[in-house]
Structure formats: structure tokens, C-alpha cells
Amino acid sequence: MGWKLLLRRSTLIEAQHCANLLEAAGIRAQVRNRFLAGAIGEIPPTEAWPQVWIPEAQDRDAALARLHELSDEVDRSAPDWQCPACGERIEPQFGACWQCGHARPVD
């Protein structure tokens, strides 16, 4: 199966977050160029940026639209939530407890 470039992000954290959102939506994704930051200066900086790739068969526009929808779903003004498993207080943008990994309950 072939893969195609969906997007580039300036940091690995941003690229991995995009890939995670796509995977959570059922769209396979890979992050490439994870370790090219050391090559900046030898190659153009944007060529070293981490990239998110999707399967060739996946509609690129649909994947970008879904990623945009998922990014907008996070309500920045929402209250923190409490993990039902360990009691840890978690910020609203997270879907799982950082302490124990328990998934956020569906409201």
C-alpha cells in the first residue's frame, strides 16, 4: 500500500497530535521525518519538519476536513474533568488521564 503526504508541522509534537487525531477518527496515519531536525542547515528547514502521511487510497481533502473538525471540537473554555479511576484532575483538551491512562468518560 502506498502513502501520500497530508501535511507538515514545525514540531514533532504537533505532527504526532495530528496523527493521533486522525487515528482516533479511524484514518490511518504515519509520522515521518521524526529525526531530521539535526539536518537543518544542511537541508531547508521545512524539508526537515515532521510530516503526517495517510494511505494513498484515503481522500486527502476529507482527511484534512476531519482533522480540522476534530481540532475545533476541543472547547477551550470547558471545565477540567476528574478521572473516575484515580481521581486526578485533567484539563479539558485531554481524552485520557495522564496519570493512569483511563479514558475520559463520555458525557
- What's the chain's length in residues? 107
Sorted by where each begins, the domain ranges of the chain are: 3-73, 77-107
Of 72, 103, 73, the residue nearest 90 (C-alpha):
103
Question: Residue 73: its pLDDT value, please?
Answer: 63
Give me the percent of the chain exceeding a pLDDT of 90.
62
Percent of all residues in the chain with a pLDDT value above 70, rounded to a whole number: 93
Least confident of 1-5, 53-57, 69-73: 69-73
List C-alpha distances in Å: 59 to 3, 5, 25, 40, 53. 11, 11, 14, 31, 12
* Whole-prediction pTM: 0.66
